[in-house]
Amino acid sequence: MDLDAVRSQALQCMDCSLSARRRNVVFGEGNPRAPLVLVGEGPGEQEDATGRPFVGRAGQLLDRALADNGLSREHVYICNTVKCRACDWIEDKPVNRAPTEQEARACRRWLVPQLAAISPKVILCVGAPSARNLIKKDFKITADRGKYFPCEYAKTAIATLHPAYILRQQSATHDGGYSLLAADIARAWEAAQRLLKASVGSSEPEPAAVQSSLFD
Ligand code: URA
């Protein structure tokens, strides 16, 4: 399926209860031919209101970390593990919560063909839930962030800290992990560029030996 077809079907999705009160399905945006795809957790209030990923405070921090690496949203593609805002309704007011495993599983119906249509060299999982969905179930973000892992949907995947987590950790004397986020983006982008160069002029998939030497 091409990306537009996946998007138009996802916009109609009623597969889980998050569809009941969403304002928008937040499918994803950016460069659909990018070698690097960033996959976050799921839309919050601003994203639900606008239909665009990472446009709230966390998104602004992510944009800053991209810009500190000379990148913008035109260089990458950005999407989420779940496409609809996860929240509980308490006295008819929305209270954000993390998406459940079942919601993440249901939304793989859209994420997997979305990634297949883009076919990125590298996936950067933004936050632990994304890494648990795409890399391995027991992913530990503090121990495993910044490392290359095999991934079914790209040549390799790396995970980084979620900017919302960084915002919560930041203080007058501590960057909250911002420098790690910026460094992980740099690492993911470098790998994407190396893999892109390695594949130019070669219609064959890279042999396993070449692949692993790219990440020594
Ligand atoms: N957090 C995410 O994980 N994704 C968004 O789109 C916004 C905030």
Q: Tokens 């983006």 sit at which residue?
A: 185
pTM score of the predicted model? 0.93
3-state secondary structure of 84: coil
Asked whether 43 lines ligand 1 (CB < 6 A), one says yes
Asked whether 59 lines ligand 1 (CB < 6 A), one says yes
pLDDT at 158: 98
The residues spanned by each domain of the chain are 3-214
Q: Are 80 and 41 in contact (CB under 8 A)?
A: yes
Q: Are 149 and 157 in contact (CB under 8 A)?
A: yes
Q: Are 127 and 133 in contact (CB under 8 A)?
A: no
pLDDT at 203: 62
Among the CATH numbers 3.90.420.10, 3.30.420.40, 3.40.470.10, 3.90.1150.10, which is that of 3-214? Answer: 3.40.470.10
- From 18, 45, 57, 80, the mutation candidate for ligand 1 (largest count of ligand atoms within 8 A of CB) is 80
| Helix H or strand E segment including 79 | strand 77-80
pLDDT at 204: 54
Given a cut of 60, whether residue 200 has pLDDT beyond it is: yes
Which amino acid is residue 140, in one-letter code?
K
User: Using H for helix, E for strand and C for coil, what is the string for 66-121?
Assistant: HHCCCCCCCCCEEEECCCCCCEEEECCEEEECCCCHHHHHHHHHHHHHHHHHHCCC
Mean pLDDT of 54-80: 98
Q: Are 78 and 30 in contact (CB under 8 A)?
A: yes
pLDDT at 208: 46
Give the model confidence (pLDDT) of 147-176 as tens digits: 999 999 999 999 999 999 999 999 999 999
pLDDT at 25: 98
Asked whether 120 lines ligand 1 (CB < 6 A), one says no
From residue 185, give the alpha-carbon distance in Å to each of 47, 122, 155, 196: 22, 11, 16, 16
Residues in the chain: 216
pLDDT at 126: 98
Burial of residue 176 (CB within 10 Å: 0-12, 13-18, 19+) is middle
Distance 210 CA to ligand 1 centre (A): 34
Give the model confidence (pLDDT) of 86-130 as tens digits: 999 999 999 999 999 999 999 999 999 999 999 999 999 999 999
- pLDDT interval class at 202 (50, 70, 90): confident
Asked whether 53 lines ligand 1 (CB < 6 A), one says yes
Asked whether 47 lines ligand 1 (CB < 6 A), one says yes
Give the DSSP letter of residue 207. Answer: P
- From 25, 38, 41, the mutation candidate for ligand 1 (largest count of ligand atoms within 8 A of CB) is 41
pLDDT at 209: 43
